[in-house]
Amino acid sequence: MANVNLTVVFYSMGGTNYQLAQWAEEAGKEAGAEVRLVKVQELAPQSVIEGNEVWKNTVEATKDVPVASSDDIEWADAIIFSLPTRFGNMPSQVKQFIDTQGGLWATGKTVNKVVSAMSSAQNPHGGQEATILSLYTSMMHWGAIIVPPGYSDPVLFGAGGNPYGTSVTVGQDGKMIEDVQGAVKHQVNRTLTVASWVKNANG
């Protein structure tokens, strides 16, 4: 994987997807990939963030993480997205980031990017799968190569068995209910493997 560039893009309000993204970054580095960890630009009003202690703490915890840009997408051979569920869909912050990549899309620079996604919600059936699929719909328009984990490793069953991408339920205490760290790392390694096939075939 030494010749694969991996961008891990996350949006996080409560810290869960920041943690998933950090595990993804760690797995990418362990596999020998070049890794960029970047966050989607926050769009919510500061007054709203200030009124939510958890949200405010997450903004503070991620203040030194670079904001995702078109360059991070163009540079990447593989992209891992980690995003929370918003009414069964991707957050508006992530949607705007994707919508602003029209310049890359128009020049063919999103074609054959190898992509996989992760998500979270507060209920086991809170929309994690639909959120990942909403992102994958946009990736089809990009001409990206989508790499779902499927059931390619037993570790996925212990993490809840989501074949579209690792997903986790967050309890009222803000902690993850399922143990998904192993599933995240497997998903990253699978994505990097496919990215290396694509890059070497084109190389």
Q: In the chain, what are the domains?
A: 5-202 (3.40.50.360)
DSSP for 124-176, written as a single string:
TTSSHHHHHHHHHHHHHHHT-EE---TT-STHHHHTT--SSS-EEEB-TTS-B
pLDDT at residue 172, as a whole number: 87
CA distance linking residue 65 with residue 84, whole number of Å: 18
Residue 158's pLDDT is what?
87
CA-closest candidate to residue 78, choices 149, 8, 15, 18? 8
Q: Are 168 and 120 in contact (CB under 8 A)?
A: yes
Amino acid at 197: W
Find all residues with CB under 8 Å of 52, minimum gap 6, and list them.
13
Q: How far apart are CA 69 and CA 60, in angstroms?
A: 20
pLDDT value at residue 59: 94
Contact yes or no for 149/141 (Cβ under 8 A): no
Q: What's the predicted TM-score (pTM) here?
A: 0.96
Given a cut of 70, the residues of the chain with pLDDT beneath it are 1-2, 202-203
Q: Got the DSSP string for 2-69? A: TT-EEEEEE--SSSHHHHHHHHHHHHHHHTT-EEEEEEPPP-S-HHHHHT-HHHHHHHHHTTTSPBP-
Those residues whose C-beta lies under 8 Å from the C-beta of residue 137, and which sit 6 or more positions away, are none
